[in-house]
Amino acid sequence: AVTPREAAVDVMKDLQGHYGWLTDEGVVEAAEILGLSPLQVEELATFYEMIYRRPVGKKVIHLCDSISCWAMGCETLMEHMAKRLGVEPGGTTADGIFTLLPCSCLGNCGNGPAMMLGDNMYEKLTPDEADKILEIERRKTGESPA
Amino acid sequence: MEQVLFRHNKPGRPVTFAEYCAEGGFAALKKALAEMSPDDVQQAVIDSGMRGRGGAGFPTGRKWSFVPRNLPGPRYLICNCDEMEPGTYKDRVLLEKNPYLLVEGMILTAYAIGVEHAFIFIRRGYETPAANLRRAITEAHEAGFLGKNILGSGISVELDLHLSAGRYICGEETALMNALEGRRANPRSKPPFPAIKGLWESPTVVNNVETLSNVPFIISHGPTRFKELAKLPEASGMKLFCISGHVNNTVCVELPLGMTLGEIIDGPCGGMLPGRKFKGCIPGGAATPYLTADHLNLPMDFDTVAGVGSRLGTGGIVVFDTDTCMVGATLNLTRFFAHESCGWCTPCREGLPYVREILTRIEAGRGVPEDIDILAEHAKYLNYAFCALAPGATGPIEALLRLFEDELREHITKKCCPFRR
Ligand SMILES: Cc1cc2nc3c(=O)[nH]c(=O)nc-3n(C[C@H](O)[C@H](O)[C@H](O)COP(=O)(O)O)c2cc1C
Ligand code: SF4
Ligand code: FES
């Protein structure tokens, strides 16, 4: 590293890992660590797809809606998952477990529709498989099925 | 078929450092440090005729030659591994199989242009490539290929990783430099070009993962050998193609430049999915205008694809069957570009949502004939933008109007999308 502010993304990711999302407190703390003003951190925080400046569920689902996944039916999958979770795209389930977000190309275009859930990548997803994955992930959090 | 980037690949796992070295890895670095001056390395890359693999196809050696030679102060090299162009996943596959080519290629490039500190900028979601690179960098350090006084040559190079958090514009080279510095990733004005004033105001070269990974072969086997791997006399080298969409095998393969589109689809891709017919494709990532069945005999190289009004781009081919609605596809692509607009300049920030709305209307069966003229005119305005994102976004729009006007008109006259059942 050449300058402290180079670490901005790493610092924001770590604070997000700690709080679950990048809270107002988190922004102030990041600013102190990086020697920036909170506004300068805000400018960065709002720029990136994977930095959450609003509360999210315990697990964030990023479902790719770019062209290759579109060709393989990601629109149907998004509708299915939204219905299954009972949220609009962008929303968080009532139990606070899942947030469902459409996202840009995940670099897994040959295996569409592709999805990232937390740090895990899922490929060639069908609605049935998506249901199973949601069930497994929900169980991991120790909550009972919705 | 001779492979350059995939020659060390092992099935189902990355190649190890020991295997890479045993199969001739780091021979190019040893050769360059022992027998070649930095200018010789640069000249070899110029002679190879290699063009950048990041999308724009700029000659790599020429780009390096713009870096001033005798200025005091640091110079930087950045490897662009943002790879967020929809339809493109070649850099990920390459780094999952072999991170050492990139490490060796970057040390050679740093030597050629006098760089002591180089960076690899990696997108979010590429944690496996990042882990592979971290390991490769440590191993290269331990073997004396990185760090101070490499192999006793007096040359020093450090290599750092920078992990991003997801935003397409970070792949634009000047935006990338802002992102790396920890600033909001809006593009910078050009001129001054990065080769003169780049990262921290110092001369900087930005190259793609695949571009840099080809450098060791050019040095170890010679520029002529590299050039002659291509299938056309004007072309140079091999290219990674990553295919997605309606084919049997959606693979990432290394092929000679100049193979035809049809040969790629029928060969490594195993043809179209059962019962499907080829309608068209995006040849090289979201920003490249469509090709159609008329282009199946087109050799895939930079100049040949440019000759029919498109671009080779990244080599990310997205194949569409005859049931695909091209208005829908263009709407999807425009939505992507509008979403990823960084908001800095008006033609892009305001223009792309406007075009998206028109396409949404047409796709929903609410279009009017005048919309087609508005689209055509507006696609031109997008070219007045500050960076190449918005001009790239016109690619699919312009191609929709040029190649699929009948489909557009059918949406308008039938007042619905003819492909939705
Ligand atoms: C919006 C936008 C996104 C880009 N994304 C990438 C990218 O992810 N990877 C890349 O190598 N080049 C990308 N480029 C091209 C780079 O600006 C630059 O031309 C390239 O990294 C140069 O490498 P090359 O000469 O080796 O091709 C992008 C360009 C634009 C305008
Ligand atoms: S063209 Fe778009 S991405 Fe590029 S500077 Fe303008 S607003 Fe930003
Ligand atoms: S288009 Fe979905 S992963 Fe690339």
Nearest to A9 among B163, B200, B246 (CB): B163
Confidence (pLDDT) at B71 = 85
Q: In order along chain B (421 residues), what is the average pLDDT of each group of 10 residues?
A: 96 97 98 98 98 97 94 95 98 98 98 97 96 98 97 97 97 98 97 96 98 98 98 97 98 98 98 98 98 98 98 98 98 98 97 98 97 95 97 97 97 96 66
Q: A2 or B227: which carries more pLDDT confidence? A: B227
- Say yes or no: ipTM exceeds 0.90: yes
A144's CB contacts (< 8 A; 6+ apart) are none
Our CA-based measurement puts residue A144 at a distance from the nearest CA of chain B, in whole angstroms, of 29
Asked if residue B242 lies in contact with residue A109, where contact means CB atoms within 8 angstroms, the answer is yes
Confidence (pLDDT) at A2 = 81
User: Does ligand 3 come within 6 angstroms of the Cβ of A28?
Assistant: no
Rounded CA separation B91/B55 (Å): 12
* Residue A32 CA from chain centroid, whole number: 25
Confidence (pLDDT) at A129 = 96
Tokens read off for B65: 């030659």
Calculate Rg over the CA atoms of chain A.
17
- Average of per-residue pLDDT values in chain A: 95
The β-bridge relationship of strands B204-208 and B76-81 is parallel
CA of A105 to the centre of ligand 3 (A): 4
Q: What is the DSSP letter of B304?
A: H
Closest of B262, B255, B257 to residue B278, by C-alpha: B262
Closest of B388, B389, B363 to residue B375, by C-alpha: B363
Q: At what angle do helices A38-45 and A8-19 cross, to 10 degrees?
A: 80
Tokens read off for A109: 């275009």
User: Does ligand 2 come within 6 angstroms of the Cβ of B169?
Assistant: yes
User: Does ligand 2 come within 6 angstroms of the Cβ of B170?
Assistant: no
Calculate Rg over the CA atoms of chain B.
22
Written in H, E and C, the secondary structure of B23-64 is: CCCCHHHHHHHHHCCHHHHHHHHHHHCCECCCCCCCEHHHHH
Q: Sign of the CA dihedral B54, B57, B59, B64?
A: negative
Q: Which residue of A has its CA nearest to B248?
A: A110
- Angle value at C-alpha B246, between B244 and B251, nearest 5 degrees: 35
The model scores a pTM over 0.95: yes
Asked if residue B133 lies in contact with residue B99, where contact means CB atoms within 8 angstroms, the answer is yes
User: Does ligand 2 come within 6 angstroms of the Cβ of B342?
Assistant: yes
Best of A104, A108, A121 to disrupt the B interface (most B CBs within 10 Å) is: A104
Tokens 């729009």 identify what position? B397
Confidence (pLDDT) at A144 = 63
B333's CB contacts (< 8 A; 6+ apart) are A67, B86, B286, B393, B396
Chain A contacts to B (CB-CB under 8 A)? 1-10, 12-13, 34, 43-44, 47-51, 65-68, 70-72, 103-112, 116, 119, 121
Span of A11-15, A119-123, B275-279, B390-394 with lowest mean pLDDT: A119-123
Angstrom CA distances, A76 to A63, A96, A106, B135, B157, stand at: 12, 24, 18, 40, 49
User: Does ligand 2 come within 6 angstroms of the Cβ of B387?
Assistant: yes
Q: At what angle do helices B100-113 and B38-48 cross, to 10 degrees?
A: 120
Tokens read off for B231: 């299938």
Peptide bond into A4 cis (omega under 30): no
Name the strands in the sheet holding B158-163, side by side, starting at the edge strand that comes first in the sequence. Answer: B158-163, B117-122, B76-81, B204-208
Q: What is the DSSP letter of B149?
A: S
Closest of B390, B369, B370 to residue B380, by C-alpha: B390
Q: What is the DSSP letter of B382?
A: G
Give the H or E element holding residue B221. Answer: helix B209-221
Best of B158, B184, B330 to disrupt the A interface (most A CBs within 10 Å) is: B184
Nearest to A108 among B89, B127, B180 (CB): B89
- Inter-chain touch B245–A12, beta carbons under 8 Å: no
A120's CB contacts (< 8 A; 6+ apart) are none
Rounded CA separation A88/B266 (Å): 41
Rounded CA separation A97/A139 (Å): 10
Rounded CA separation B250/B262 (Å): 15
Q: Roughly how many angstroms between the first and final C-alpha of chain B, as a whole number? A: 44
Closest of B55, B179, B269, B43 to residue A12, by C-alpha: B179
